[in-house]
Amino acid sequence: MAKLKKTKSFENIFEDLEKIVGKMDEGDIHLEKSLELFEKGMSLVEEGKSKLDEAELKIKTLTKNSNLE
């Protein structure tokens, strides 16, 4: 059975990024774990950017449609 990817809200993505940064700031983790956290963080950044791009497109569409008088 295929796994369904659960989508996160922008706020959840941001919270997850904050947790990762906090763990990395502690400084007492091994290099391998740091790289793993960095990779996960970059993935979250891309996911967040995608959410922002979608929101921007919606706003542009809505404002363009509202100017049709």
- Per-residue pLDDT tens for 10-64? 999 999 999 999 999 988 899 999 999 999 999 999 999 999 999 999 999 988 8
Q: Report pLDDT for 68.
A: 58
Contacts of residues 51-54 at CB distance under 8 Å and 24 or more positions apart, as own/partner, are 51/9, 51/10, 51/13, 52/10
Q: Report pLDDT for 7.
A: 80
Q: Report pLDDT for 65.
A: 78
Q: Report pLDDT for 2.
A: 52
